[in-house]
Each structure stands twice: as C-alpha cells, then as structure tokens.
Chain A
Amino acid sequence: DAGITQSPRYKITETGRQVTLMCHQTWSHSYMFWYRQDLGHGLRLIYYSAAADITDKGEVPDGYVVSRSKTENFPLTLESATRSQTSVYFCASRADTQYFGPGTRLTVL
C-alpha cells in the first residue's frame, strides 16, 4: 500500500534497553519527521530529516538517535530507553502538508 507505515505498532520494553522504531514511506518525499505524542502536550518534534544523510534536532531530541541512509526509511532509536520515553510515536513525511503514519505505542517498564 502506498503511504507511510510504522513498525512495530506496539512495543513493550524495559528500562535501559535499545529500541528502534521504523518508518517507511512510499512517496519519495524528501522530508521526514518524528514526533512524540503525550497527553497534554500535543505532538512534539523529536528529529527531522531534509534528505538522505541529512538530519536535524527538533524540540525534544535528548535520548533519541536517527539515521536516514535511504530516502524512504527514517528509523528512530532509543539507545537506552527510560520510562519518560513511554509515549506514542508518529512519523510524518512531506515538507508542506505533513502526512502522518499510524503511530507506534511504546511502553517502557
């Protein structure tokens, strides 16, 4: 299916473990974004990427790492997960009108 997909949709992990959330888009949009959604905070930008191998920090980048070796993929890694990173994570693409994926619900125990 065309569009933007995220995997896994649900993930439970433990404090200190490394977790990678995947994002894949089929449109070949240059720009991709990672947000986290928490009650009372709306969506906050973690990282974004203007093109392959070009990434930049957003509002809340601490504790996260991103890479973009291919235009269509933009994985988000939590190198050592903390409980405060329990959230719903959304990937988005396209520079002007952002299209969002279905989200990954991450729980860190």
Chain B
Amino acid sequence: QQQVKQSPQSLIVQKGGISIINCAYENTAFDYFPWYQQFPGKGPALLIAIRPDVSEKKEGRFTISFNKSAKQFSLHIMDSQPGDSATYFCAASTQSGSARQLTFGSGTQLTVLP
C-alpha cells in the first residue's frame, strides 16, 4: 500500500535550471512532510521539511510548496547544480507515541548536467 506517490522517477535538468519533484499523499493524518537527499553509497539525509499549516518553506535554493486541499507537495530546486545530482525522497509522517513513523515516496533520481 503506497501512501505517498512520488513523480517523476527520474529527472534530467541542465545546470541553472529548475528541478521540480512532486508528491501526493492519501492519509489526512500525516502532519509532517520532510524531503531527504541521498547520494550514492550514503544514507538519506534530511534536506528540508514542512508542516501543513504553511503553504511554502524556503531554505536557500530549495523550496517546498504544500497544497493541503489537494494533498500534494513538491520540492523545487532553483539554479540546479551538478552537485545536486542525487536521489530525492519525499516522506510523510504522523506522530505515533513519541516517535514519528515515516512513509517514503519511491524516490526521484535527479541528474543535473554541467
């Protein structure tokens, strides 16, 4: 049961371009939406996260846009650089006790061409 659907599966962008990755969720109990970045041979690392009480969050070149009514959120990478080439995972979570259980999207492999 895939509760978080991520697209596209792969993305190729020219240096300086905008990379956009989209996610959609079903469970309205989700209340925290992080994005993870993973380089080859490494574990995922938190990139940026948003809560549903705001529609946008920006950190440097990375922006999350959130549409609560549509149950969709997206990651925008402005001025994409070759160093941004990685796999990106969206996730959604709910509080379970004192822990957050993450449900991940299937991942997007981003390639930024020099």
Chain A residues engaging chain B, CB cutoff 8 angstroms: 4, 30-31, 40-45, 48, 50, 58, 90, 92, 95-103
Could you tell me which residues of chain B, from 40 to 57, have a CB within 8 Å of some CB in chain A?
A: 41-46, 49
Question: Do B104 and A43 have beta carbons less than 8 Å apart?
Answer: yes
Chain B interface residue bracket vs A: 20 to 34
Contact B100 A42 (CB under 8 A): no
The majority secondary structure among interface residues of chain B is strand
**Chain B interfacial positions (CB closer than 8 Å to A):** 4, 6, 9, 34, 36, 41-46, 49, 89, 97-102, 104-107
Q: Tell me whether A102 and B98 are in contact in the complex, defined as CB-CB below 8 angstroms, given that A41-B106, A42-B104, A43-B89 are known contacts.
A: no
Residues of A within 8 A of B98 (CB): 30-31, 50, 95
